[in-house]
Amino acid sequence: MRKEVIMPKIGLDMEEGTILEWKKKVGDKVSKGDVLAEIETDKAVTEVESALDGTLAEIVANEGDTVEITKTIAWVEVDE
C-alpha cells in the first residue's frame, strides 16, 4: 500500500517549503526516522524524515520545487 509524504509545517508562519535535495532516490528502502529530503523555508533549512518503513516509490516534487504545506511531495510503498 502506498502512503504519501507531505510537506510538513515547520513553523506557525510557514505556508510553503522548497525542496533543496532528495537524500533518497526512488527504489531506496526507507525506515522511520531516515532523512528523505532537505527543505528550505523562509526561516530555516530542515530535514524531512520518513514516518514509515518501506520503499520510496515516487518523488512528486523535484529539487527546486516550492510546495505548499500538507501537499504530497513523495509516496512510500509501506512494508506490510
- Residue-wise pLDDT for 10-63, tens only, equals 878 889 999 999 999 999 999 999 999 999 988 889 999 999 999 999 999 999
Give the residue with greater pLDDT, 13 vs 76: 76
**Residue 79, pLDDT score:** 76
Residue in the block written with cell 512494508: 79
Q: Are 6 and 70 in contact (CB under 8 A)?
A: yes
